Amino acid sequence: MHQEPNEDELFEHHKFVASKGQEPLRVDKFLMNFIENATRNKIQQAAKDGHVWANDKIVKQNYKVKAGDEVKVLFEHPPHELLLTPEDIPLDIVFEDEALLVVNKPAGMVVHPGHGNYSGTLINALLFHIKDLPSNSNERPGLVHRIDKDTSGLLVVAKTESAMTHLAKQFFDKSSEREYIALVWGNVEDDNGTVEGNIARNPKNRLQMQVFPEGDAGKEAVTHYTVLERLGYVTLLSCKLETGRTHQIRVHMKSIGHTLFNDERYGGDKVLKGTTFTKYKQFVDNAFKILPRQALHAKTLGFIHPVTGKNMRFDSEIPEDMANCIAKWQDYARHSK
């Protein structure tokens, strides 16, 4: 007998309330600002299927969302058991023992399955490599922390429940070491600095995070930075995290006027600093092509081993796309003097 699947396995529900400052905007465009990896076609199909509501009434894709509207959408997606399918995907494993492994994630790889990314993720690869990964409260097996899809670099993955508990506490207590290399727009004036500011979702665009005044909203976030090299219209930085909030470095650097180079989500994919010469614009466009993602790499990772108690520290090479982009700017800076 054919058994109907549980509805929760087939559908993904989203609900948003339009902010007070919301200008009238088509519901399909509104939802694209709020749901990561949702294509306009997918949203329009949901509307055609009667799966988009505004204030509990089914609406068409051209409905104009207004301030205060409650918008809901329902997407079909694969059953839950398909989301955590082992897949034979090569992994760049830097270290592995019985308790944990450290992996160097390439840019473009999503860490865990979710809307629009149901396969090809790091979790799918890990489940193939390790038969029994410990689960956590978010149903993201083995994960203690994560990095964005288009950020490259080091991640530690727990292989046992006790290792996960031990490592998670270190990240919570801010005792782990995490250093990122970032290329940002503009000349960062101070050689060293600290950015502090609570981070929460941007109420007008749920795909972006935003810095809020202290205590106003969101979670505490602290980023320490050091200038490695000044390259004219961009600066190469080392960023060390005290906290690990979503998009922390990306949103903190934007908040002080230094958006990450080619960070599309936060406006870094435009010529933000420099001259008006066509030749310069062509140079920047070429740099974007060399590095078609935000210029951010999780270079160094340090923590106490949950079993041996030893201090573990790992370092990774800056990947080729980012290294080539930096070299291009170094060459530009030399010839501009």
What are the pLDDT digits (tens) for 38-85?
777 878 888 888 888 899 888 998 999 998 898 988 776 555 545 678
What phi and psi, each to the nearest 5 degrees, are found at residue 43? -65, -45
Per the listing, tokens 């940002």 go with 184
Most confident among 133-147, 207-221, 289-303 (mean pLDDT): 289-303
Asked if the structure places residue 1 within a domain, the reply is no
Query: Is 183 found in the same domain as 257?
Result: yes
Environment class of residue 147 by beta-carbon count within 10 Å: exposed (0-12), middle (13-18) or buried (19+)?
buried
Residue type, 48: K
Whether residue 54 is contained in a domain is answered as yes
Whether pLDDT at 326 is above 60: yes
* Residue that finishes a domain, picked among 172, 191, 220: 172
DSSP run (H or E) holding 254: helix 248-255
Structure-block tokens of residue 173: 């207590």
Q: What is the pLDDT of residue 57?
A: 87
Residue 27: pLDDT over 60: yes
The Cα–Cα gap between 32 and 13 comes to 14
Structure tokens at 79: 């059953």
pLDDT digits (tens, 9 = 90+) for 165-217: 999 889 888 889 999 999 999 999 999 999 998 888 887 776 778 888 666 67
Residue 318 sits in the same domain as residue 185: yes
Q: Residue 315 domain-assigned?
A: yes
Residues taking part in catalysis: 148
* Secondary structure (H, E, C), 104-117: EECCCCCCCCECCE
Q: Residue 49 belongs to a domain with what CATH number?
A: 3.10.290.10
Handedness of CA 216, 218, 220, 221 (dihedral sign): negative
Beta-bridged to residue 182, according to DSSP, are 237, 296
My answer on whether 16 and 37 are in the same domain is yes
* Cβ–Cβ under 8 Å, residues 189 and 235: no
> Is the domain of 152 the same as that of 130?
yes
pTM: 0.77
* Domain limit, last residue, from 76, 95, 116: 76
pLDDT one-digit tens code per residue, 207-252: 778 888 666 678 888 999 999 999 999 999 999 998 888 899 999 9
Strands 25-26 vs 64-65: parallel, antiparallel or unpaired: antiparallel
Count of domains forming the chain: 3
H helices, E strands: number in the chain: 9, 17
In 3D, which of 242, 238, 151, 235 has the Cα closest to residue 196?
242
CATH number for the domain that contains residue 126: 3.30.2350.10
Taking all residues of the chain, what is their mean pLDDT, rounded to a whole number? Answer: 86
Query: How far is it between the farthest Cα atoms of the chain?
Result: 77
Distance CA 153, CA 106 (A): 7
Q: Both 38 and 87 in a single domain? A: no
CB count in 10 Å sphere of residue 24? 12
**168 and 181: one domain?**
no
What is the domain extent for residue 33? 7-76
- Name the helix (H) or strand (E) containing 28: helix 27-32
Q: Same structural domain for residues 151 and 129?
A: yes
Residue 100 confidence (pLDDT): 96
Residue 2 clears pLDDT 50, i.e. is over it: no
Which of the four pLDDT bands, split at 50, 70 and 90, describes residue 116?
low
Neighbours of 58 (CB within 10 A): 13
Q: Are residues 159 and 182 in the same domain?
A: no
Stretch 125-147: mean pLDDT, rounded? 79
- Residue 151 and residue 98: Cα distance in Å, rounded? 27
Q: Pick from 134, 150, 172: which residue ends a domain?
A: 172
Q: How confident is the model at residue 8 (pLDDT cuts 50, 70, 90)?
A: very low
Same domain? 44 vs 144: no
Q: Is 48 helix (H, G, I), strand (E, B) or coil?
A: helix
Are 139 and 215 found together in one domain? no
pLDDT at 309 over 70: yes
Residue 40 lies in a domain: yes
Same domain membership, residue 106 and residue 40: no
On whether residue 2 sits in a domain, the answer given is no
Residues 193 and 331 in one domain: yes
